[in-house]
Amino acid sequence: MVSDTHNRLGTVVCENGTPNVMEFSFVLEGVSNEIIVKRGEFVSVVTPAGEVISRVQDLIRTNRYYQHAEAVREYQSRGEPLRSIFPTDRWQYTVASARVVGLWANNRPVRPYFAVSPGSVVRQVDASVLSQFLRLDPNNGLNLGSLGHHNLAFTPSIDRLLSKHLAILAMSGAGKSYFVSVLLEELLTRTKKQGRIAIVLIDVHGEYRYLKDIEPLTKTESSIVDVEHIRGAHLQIPVNSMTAEGIGSLVSDMSTVQKRELKRVLSEIQSFYKDGYSLKELIDYIRDDDTIKGNTRDALIGWLYNLEETRLFGKEAVPDIKSIVQPGRLTIIDLSDFISLRKKQIVVAHLANELLYLRRRESIPPFLLVLEEAHQFCPESRHDLALPKSRIETIAREGRKFFALLCLISQRPVKLSTTVLSQCSNQAIFRCTNPYDLDHIGRSSEGIDRAALDAITTLEVGESLFVGETVSVPTFVKIRKRYFEPSGKAKSLSDALLRAEK
């Protein structure tokens, strides 16, 4: 039997139309200056109908001695602080306002439908109840960090976190990529028994390269870390896999006549070069084709030369996506050598297309496509160059049905396609202070209220608000430290400067 004083925090009082179904206030117990409950903490009120779980929204301290500014001023000017004359400390108390987030009844979460009674005791919420209430999975879930203010690991199940796409949003330097490394560590160390997802990561800055050298922590089957690192310069897109529309989307304003001619040439050349062909061979083929009108031919040749210059195209596919995308393997596509956005976009468009095509036919296992700088690849604005946009939007819309999943990362949410963002049922939001971005986040994710948006501006590096399907209510999480650190990377500007001196 739990004693009555166990985990007691305070007593519900009547104030400003509360307690009502969604809100109540309580007076804190204990010595006046003690901090026994913090803003954002979950608390519980046990009722006959179940346990009412709430979150502390605000804390207000009051003291009747200090209610009249005039009196305080008077004692102040006499040089006799109130504290020296009256027992002011004894009259200080704190009122906490709490917002009800749910009712835990018969071992399942229920929508709240009644108000707690004035006089009810408010207690700390039991960690195991909170874990179940939030729908965490301590046994099989991903260990991503801990809940702010609670001694509870944040272990969402892979189903809840990833099966309906995940967006990671924040301003620069808030901890997005760090969180991705933590997530990758968790996904890469899952066992066969637990089931492993294939991961393809588009590494725009080369910051995940270090993962290819990490050593397993323990020598068990589960810890064989399978990482493939592919440099952008080694990639090759097979020309024979490209349609006239595909090529048309890579160059600007191809006319219908030109597309039609190209389509015809492509269907002819397929039977001529059975084992694939290069752009050079395609160009020569067009040059020798007398049936194409002079100006159409020149335009086609010009465009194809232009594509040839990117050095991204060849006879065969490198890598062969079908053989490289495997359960439990991380494939890093390192685009850090490319300066041209267009080249990066061509690669991402091709990969997204192939992955979707192969997954639909079940030629590859369920996969997670992790895309850094997502706003560069699927921007909201129609004016931005956006070759992969339609493919990524298709994965966002349809991918979840056959487990072609996205993890999109962006430091400019306002620039990210709303279609894509609204399809991400899960969002991990780190610190963000730009009002336009905050507004965009607020509008594109349900269940995020004004208070939560305000809290996002005050988050620290490595702290995140999870919203969506992952947890039953928006939850603040402190992301754990990663097990593996990139070696040889400067930690700060001063560190980089010292290294440069050597």
Ligand X SMILES: Nc1ncnc2c1ncn2[C@@H]1O[C@H](COP(=O)(O)OP(=O)(O)OP(=O)(O)O)[C@@H](O)[C@H]1O
Asked whether position 173 contacts ligand X by CB under 6 A, the answer is yes
- CB of 309 or CB of 495, closer to ligand X: 495
Considering only CA atoms, which of 32, 15, 36, 33 is closest in space to residue 24?
Answer: 15
Asked whether position 175 contacts ligand X by CB under 6 A, the answer is yes
> From ligand X, Mg ion, none, which one binds at residue 201 (CB under 5 to 8 Å depending on kind)?
none
Binding ligand X (rule: CB under 6 A), the pick from 93, 114, 178, 403 is 178
State the nearest-atom distance from the C-beta of 433 to Mg ion, in Å.
17
Considering only CA atoms, which of 282, 271, 272 is closest in space to residue 239?
Answer: 282
Q: How far apart are CA 15 and CA 98, in angstroms?
A: 12
Considering only CA atoms, which of 435, 432, 357, 430 is closest in space to residue 398?
Answer: 357
Instruction: Name the one range near ligand X by CB under 6 A: 16-24, 106-114, 174-182, 221-229.
Output: 174-182
> From Mg ion, ligand X, none, which one binds at residue 234 (CB under 5 to 8 Å depending on kind)?
none
Instruction: Name the one range near ligand X by CB under 6 A: 175-183, 212-220, 316-324, 395-403.
Output: 175-183
- CB of 175 or CB of 379, closer to ligand X: 175
Asked whether position 481 contacts ligand X by CB under 6 A, the answer is yes
- CB of 174 or CB of 197, closer to ligand X: 174
Q: How far is CA 365 from CA 197, 215, 308, 372, in A?
A: 7, 25, 32, 22
Q: Where are the beta strands (DSSP E) in 215-334?
A: 226-231, 237-238, 313-314, 329-334
- CB of 171 or CB of 347, closer to ligand X: 171
- Contact (CB, 8 A) for 369 and 328: no
Considering only CA atoms, which of 46, 169, 30, 29 is closest in space to residue 105?
Answer: 46
Binding ligand X (rule: CB under 6 A), the pick from 120, 189, 353, 411 is 411
Asked whether position 177 contacts Mg ion by CB under 5 A, the answer is yes
- CB of 38 or CB of 481, closer to ligand X: 481
474's torsion region: left (phi>0), alpha (psi -120 to 50) or beta?
beta
Task: List binders of ligand X among 448-467 (CB under 6 A).
Answer: 461-462
Which ranges of 78-116 would DSSP assign to H, the alpha helix? Answer: 82-85
Asked whether position 32 contacts Mg ion by CB under 5 A, the answer is no
> From Mg ion, ligand X, none, which one binds at residue 218 (CB under 5 to 8 Å depending on kind)?
none
Asked whether position 375 contacts ligand X by CB under 6 A, the answer is no
Q: Is 10 exposed, middle or buried (0-12, 13-18, 19+ CB in 10 A)?
A: buried
Interacting residues with Mg ion (CB under 5 A)? 176-177
